[in-house]
Amino acid sequence: MELHPTIWRTCRVLAGATRLRLLKEIVTAPDRTVSRLASSIGISISRASQELRRLNSRGLVRTLRIGPEVRYRHLTDPQVPSAKPLLEALSQGLRRNPESGEEECRRIAKAFTHPRRIAIGRELLRGTRTLSGLAFALKMQTRTVSRHLRIMARCGMVKHQGSQFLFTPGSHPLARCLVHLIKQQPA
């Protein structure tokens, strides 16, 4: 049986700075316990455990029990088809720029942390649109679309040229992966 978690909820998990730092630690040095991961990024064990459960719930990390210890690996859940391409894109993005990789991944994920932003992205993949054209096509109020477009623009996913809005995800591996997943997801 396959599980299909929503992209926007997965992006909410990925937009968390602590979760991305934990994921980066797991990608860099897998098979560490919760206590070692918590210590490496300076948070409590209970907080690390909570955040790791969130990553696990999206299929992005797996646990391995060795005696009394639980260790974390950057292995995807085979029941979550979107997890494998997402983890590969995240790993590439985090390695791409060690200094700002986490922040880039967070920014990209934040652009898609709401189902309306997924719908806006899908509509803009069809071509440039005006604000009123987007509102009409998506059956949303103009001010609602405007608010989401501003967030997507701050995240670097949308540009405003004249009266037109265009989708500009760029070449970051996570952005390319999310665009691919958005195209595949039913409207």
Averaged confidence pLDDT in the chain? 93
Parse the chain into domains and list their residue ranges: 7-99, 111-184
Cα–Cα distance measured from residue 2 to residue 16, given in angstroms and rounded to the nearest whole number: 25
CATH code for the domain defined by 7-99: 1.10.10.10
For residue 3, what are the contacts with CB-CB under 8 A and spacing of at least 6?
59, 77, 79, 80
Cα–Cα distance measured from residue 179 to residue 175, given in angstroms and rounded to the nearest whole number: 6
pLDDT digits (tens, 9 = 90+) for 171-187: 999 999 999 999 987 66
Q: For the chain, what percent of residues have pLDDT higher than 70?
A: 97
What's the pTM? Answer: 0.91
- The answer on pLDDT for 4 being more than 80 is no
Name the CATH architecture for the domain at 111-184.
Answer: Orthogonal Bundle (1.10)
CA 47 to chain centre: 20
Provide the 8-state DSSP code for 162: T
